[in-house]
Amino acid sequence: MVDPERIGIRGSSYSGGHVVYVAAHEPRVKVLVSQVGSLDSRPMAPYQPAPAQSIKDANAAASLIATGEAQYPSDRARVVGNLIGAPVGNKLLRWAPVEDAHRVTQPALFIMAQNEELFSNARNGLLACERVKGPRKAIMVPGITHYGIYGAERGLAINAAIDWFDRYLKTSGAPTRVPLDRSQPERGDCRAPFVRPAG
């Protein structure tokens, strides 16, 4: 029931990085949407107060878990910043799909929160947007933090994703919600000011 020629993927938060990695390595993906995507989990200040110590602690914890000297952190532990839940060993601190963004040739939409508090937009969504090779668009939603995309601006994010998929997944000649001039690749300015859509 899946058309292998029209596969689109969408990820939010940590999976907003996963979709970039998958698109970079899987040519069957034809379009992607990364919403408030974490694309570089390597520690950096001020999101992790002591990045070098964070890496050292994560490596030590991973070693202890691997040898059985320590147990996996308890459910709902706060191990990385203010995030609830613990990563598997030190893998989170080595996860940086932003480094694969230059391999993405599929149309890529990046939806970001202007007041993102969990990581730097400049080193995540904006950098990935600037690195992708195919059609691209960035939406920096003003006045919200990371979780605002699931609340106050949920409708805006959903409609933007639907419009993006509609434009790039429908067959040529099929009606779309937003007109698309396929003769001109869409290479939007990743830092363009936000314009709220009508309605």
> Could you tell me if residue 79 is inside a domain?
yes
> Could you tell me if residue 110 is inside a domain?
yes
How buried is residue 134: exposed, middle or buried, by Cβ count under 10 Å (0-12/13-18/19+)?
Answer: middle
Predicted confidence (pLDDT) per residue in 115-157, tens digit: 999 999 999 999 999 999 999 999 999 999 999 999 999 999 9
Q: Which domain holds residue 75?
A: 51-92
> Could you tell me if residue 65 is inside a domain?
yes
pLDDT at 144: 97
Claim to verify: residue 59 and residue 142 sit in the same structural domain: no
Predicted confidence (pLDDT) per residue in 29-78, tens digit: 999 999 999 999 887 777 777 777 777 887 887 788 788 887 777 777 77
Which 8-state DSSP code applies to residue 135? -
Going by C-alpha positions, the residue among 143, 114, 117, 135 that lies closest to residue 126 is 114
Residue pair 193/142 in contact (Cβ under 8 Å)? The answer is: no
Going by C-alpha positions, the residue among 145, 122, 123 that lies closest to residue 40 is 123
Is residue 95 pLDDT above 90, yes or no? Answer: no
Which 8-state DSSP code applies to residue 4? T
Q: Is the pTM of this model over 0.85?
A: no
> Could you tell me if residue 84 is inside a domain?
yes
Claim to verify: residue 82 and residue 162 sit in the same structural domain: no
> Could you tell me if residue 88 is inside a domain?
yes
> Could you tell me if residue 141 is inside a domain?
yes
CATH of the domain at 135: 3.40.50.1820
Claim to verify: residue 25 and residue 123 sit in the same structural domain: yes
Claim to verify: residue 80 and residue 106 sit in the same structural domain: no
> Could you tell me if residue 155 is inside a domain?
yes
> Could you tell me if residue 180 is inside a domain?
no
Claim to verify: residue 69 and residue 165 sit in the same structural domain: no
Domains contained in the chain, number: 2
Strand order in the sheet with 136-141: 7-12, 29-35, 108-113, 136-141
SS3 readout for 19-84: HHHHHHHCCCEEEEEEECCCCCCCCCCCCCCCHHHHHHHHHHHHHHHHHCCCCCCCCCCECCCCCC
Is residue 28 pLDDT above 90, yes or no? Answer: yes
Claim to verify: residue 103 and residue 165 sit in the same structural domain: yes
Q: For the chain, state the CA radius of gyration.
A: 18
